[in-house]
Structure 1
Amino acid sequence: MRTRLAIKFHALLERHFPERRVFLKSDTDTRFIRLRPETQLIAFTGVSLAVAWSIIATAILLMDSIGSGNFREQAKRDQRTYQERLNQISIERDTREEEALAAHERFNAALVQISVMQSELLESETRRRELETGIEVIQTTLRDTMKERETARTALAALQAEEEGSAHVAPAELLASAGFMTDALARTAAERDQILADAQDALNQRDGLELEIKLMREKNDQIFRQLEEAMAISVEPLDKMFRQAGMPTDRILEEVRRGYSGQGGPLTPLSLSTRGEEPSADELRTNQILNQMDTLNLYRIAAQQAPFASPVRAAVRFTSGYGYRRDPKTGGRRMHNGLDFAGPHGTDIFATADGVVKHAGWQSGFGRLVVIQHAFGIETRYAHNSRIRVKAGQRVSRGDHIADMGSTGRSTGTHLHYEIRVNKRPVNPMTYIKAARNVF
């Protein structure tokens, strides 16, 4: 059975791959090699497999090349997008900073105007009290004069009755008494008219002062509204910035307040009353604005101590973000704890917040490294520098030039590796940069 199958298979192969002979001729001899159908089948199969493998490998390499090209183009587009976004954030930061300075200047001017108006209100209140006292005196004098006039009229009537009943009185004495009473009545009437005129003038002055006080209060209310709006506009972006960065504002403000709790506090509430009375609505609004000013100052101090800024100001490329990525050295997947900004060699690098330099020197992997310790348990790191311009223990402020960009340590090219760590745990620095885009 097996022999018949072998014969049939051999006959099928003979049909497609007939036996061939390859002759090898030399000067003295002629030889040949017989190529059996099985040998030809094996050779054909091997060649076919080799050709198929070549085609598949070429297709894979071509597809990988195309995919790599698309990935590089996408990476370039992402880099351009990030660069444009960083430039836009920088422009918005400058604009918001100018607006904040302008609002602060308007607030200072309004505060001066409030102080002037406070003095004017106190003077107006004093004048009003004096006028009220004068009016009371005038009214008392008028009542006394009217009583005297009535007394004089009664006395005159009694004299006239006595004159009619007493015929033996001398006419000269009666005439003298009548003349005296007439003069007294005339003087009393003149004094009465003068007092009435003075009282009317006082009433007119009081109406004018009341109108002036009303206008002052309206103007004062308008200034209060402007100040309240300015405070809301100034405080809200700062509060939003801290919350977007994941920083608890209550704890941050309390910590800043403890560090800046000098005698008397940042601001002292105003008091418009000198008689120990209950605070008025204006006093309450003033104290509320001063409390908001205190909060605003605390926010500004906290913002200076937190890294709400970009470490580079020149035109750079954003080459790598925070998170897992392909390692540029080994090709493996590993965590990247910061941001990479690529730029020309020697590009200036700036501190992103006030703090104290914790480390300034060489560290394995990071090359020339600067570490700055800030408030609230925050630490910033600036790695791969070509030159360090600060020393350990030195106090720096936001915007101080601390290093130059380079490619020291474990690096594939000139760039800055920027990290932020909170309580020794790395966080995404872009969170802080984006949080500050509407403030600075």
Structure 2
Amino acid sequence: MRSRLATKIHHTLERVFPEKRLFLRSDTETRFIRLKPETQLVAWTGSTIVVAWTIVATAILLMDSIGAGNFRAQAQRDQLTYEQRLNALSEDRDSRAAEAIAAQERFNSALRQISIMQSELLATEEKRRELETGMEAVQATLRDAMKAREAARAEIAALSAETDDNGDATISGDAVGTVDLLANALAETAAERDMIAADAEFAIEHATEMELELRLLQERNDQIFRQLEEAMLVSVEPLDEMFRAAGMNPDSLIEQVRRGYSGTGGPLTPMQFSTRGGAPDPDASRANAILASMDRINLYRLAAEKSPFDIPVKSNFRFTSGFGPRWGRLHAGTDFAGPIGTPIYATADGVVTHASWSSGYGRLIKIRHDFGIETRYAHLNAMRVTVGQRVSRGERIGDMGNSGRSTGPHLHYEVRVGGKPVNPMTYIRAGQNVF
């Protein structure tokens, strides 16, 4: 049965692949190689498989090359967009800072003017009170003089009656002198009263003008306060959101930074105004609230410089691997691919704790930051820092390379909080909206 089936298959193959002979001739003899249908079938099948594999491999390589080019172009466009947005945010931040400084200068000038106006108003009020006291004294003197005049008139009338009774037509010299003295005193008192009344009227008018000017100045200060409060709100909210997006508590972070910078004095010291025993000045309360916001922004700036919100690669690059499981293990960082020698920058202020070869990491730099944060920069081609060196955010610390267990030139970047790895893109994305 098998031989009949084999014979049938053989005859079928002979129709497709007839038997062929390959002759090999030399000087003395001629030989031939017999190519059976089965042999030709095996050869044809092998050739077909090789050609098909070549076509598929070529297509895969072309698709990968095209895809890599698209990824590279997309990464370059994203990098350009990021740089443009970063520049726009920087310009907006600088303009906001300039507006805040100018508003603070206007605010300080307005406060000085208010202080001067208040002093002048108090002086005018005191002068008006003195004039009122003087007028009361003059009026009392005038009343006394009028009483004396009435008494003198009564005395003159009595003397006149006595003279008439005695038949004498002349008045005594003492009575005449008394009348003249009283008349002069009365004229001087009236003139002094008129002068004091004029001074009091002028003081009242001047006080009214001062009150109007002070009210206009207060309205202007209220407008300045509103502008400052809006600027502080616009500046503080993005910073709050940035730290919360990174999983950090802004209030506890501010307290930590404040403990590290516990000095007092300077332009952000709360203002103190004398209220002369009255209620607290609302302008002083608003000013102190603005100063507290400015102090919070300043502390945020210090905290942001010590937290890894920056990106370690600023030249053209492409993301090749993100944070998370890979091949059954945790990939504890983010990979940035680029040419060998691409500059690598510190993402926050800190101290270098490691700068040498480290097994699969290759050339590795570790930087310790505040708040229990550590950043790692692996597979470097060169290291430009040493252990114990303090670095600042944006300072160049090394060059991208292919050292250690690496399949191509790239930077393996890690962020660890309390020794545990976290996703670096959480910090980078949070900082993109502010820096």
**TM-score when normalising by structure 2:** 0.80
Distance change (3 Å), C-alpha of 1:395 and 1:286: same
Deviation at 1:359, TM superposition (A): 0.9
Deviation at 1:277, TM superposition (A): 2.9
Matches within 5 A, 1:251-290: 251-262=252-263, 267-273=268-274, 275-290=276-291
- Structure 2 distance, partners of 1:372, 1:15, is 76
Amino acid at match of 2:116: E
Aligned residue for 1:422? 417
Distance change (3 Å), C-alpha of 1:163 and 1:220: farther
- Structure 2 distance, partners of 1:132, 1:149, is 25
- Structure 1 distance, partners of 2:42, 2:381, is 58
Distance change (3 Å), C-alpha of 1:199 and 1:336: same
Aligned residue for 1:372? 367
Aligned residue for 1:176? 177
Aligned residue for 1:80? 76
Match of residue 116, structure 2, among 109, 115, 120: 120
Aligned residue for 1:198? 199
Say whether the 8 Å CA contact 1:83–1:318 is kept in structure 2: no
Say whether the 8 Å CA contact 1:406–1:415 is kept in structure 2: yes
Match of residue 339, structure 1, among 328, 334, 340: 334
Aligned residue for 2:354? 359
The C-alpha deviation readout for 1:87-127, integer Å capped at 9, x for no partner, is 23432343244235424532552454255235424523442
Deviation at 1:372, TM superposition (A): 0.7
Aligned residue for 1:92? 88
Amino acid at match of 1:406: G
Say whether the 8 Å CA contact 1:380–1:418 is kept in structure 2: yes
- Structure 2 distance, partners of 1:79, 1:160, is 117
The C-alpha deviation readout for 1:117-163, integer Å capped at 9, x for no partner, is 35424523442443343233233234324423432443244234324
The SS at the match of 1:402 is strand
Aligned residue for 2:126? 130
Amino acid at match of 1:248: N
Deviation at 1:306, TM superposition (A): 0.8
- Structure 2 distance, partners of 1:289, 1:317, is 42
- Structure 2 distance, partners of 1:21, 1:124, is 124
Q: Identity over the aligned pairs, expressed in percent? A: 41
Aligned residue for 1:396? 391
**TM-score when normalising by structure 1:** 0.79
Aligned residue for 1:233? 234
Say whether the 8 Å CA contact 2:127–2:203 is kept in structure 1: yes
The C-alpha deviation readout for 1:302-345, integer Å capped at 9, x for no partner, is 111111222234x321232423587xxxxx57543333334444
Aligned residues: 415
Distance change (3 Å), C-alpha of 1:227 and 1:181: same
- Structure 1 distance, partners of 2:115, 2:318, is 57
Distance change (3 Å), C-alpha of 1:353 and 1:220: same
Say whether the 8 Å CA contact 1:357–1:394 is kept in structure 2: yes
- Structure 2 distance, partners of 1:277, 1:102, is 36
Amino acid at match of 2:286: R
Deviation at 1:374, TM superposition (A): 0.7
The SS at the match of 2:432 is coil
Matches within 5 A, 1:92-171: 92-110=88-106, 112-117=108-113, 119-167=115-163, 168=166, 170-171=170-171
Say whether the 8 Å CA contact 1:344–1:405 is kept in structure 2: yes
Structure 1: segments with no counterpart, 5+ residues: 25-38, 327-331
Say whether the 8 Å CA contact 1:337–1:426 is kept in structure 2: yes
Say whether the 8 Å CA contact 1:356–1:393 is kept in structure 2: yes
Distance change (3 Å), C-alpha of 1:96 and 1:192: closer
Distance change (3 Å), C-alpha of 1:86 and 1:335: farther
Match of residue 427, structure 2, among 421, 432, 435: 432
Structure 2: segments with no counterpart, 5+ residues: 22-35
- Structure 1 distance, partners of 2:125, 2:321, is 71
Aligned residue for 1:319? 319
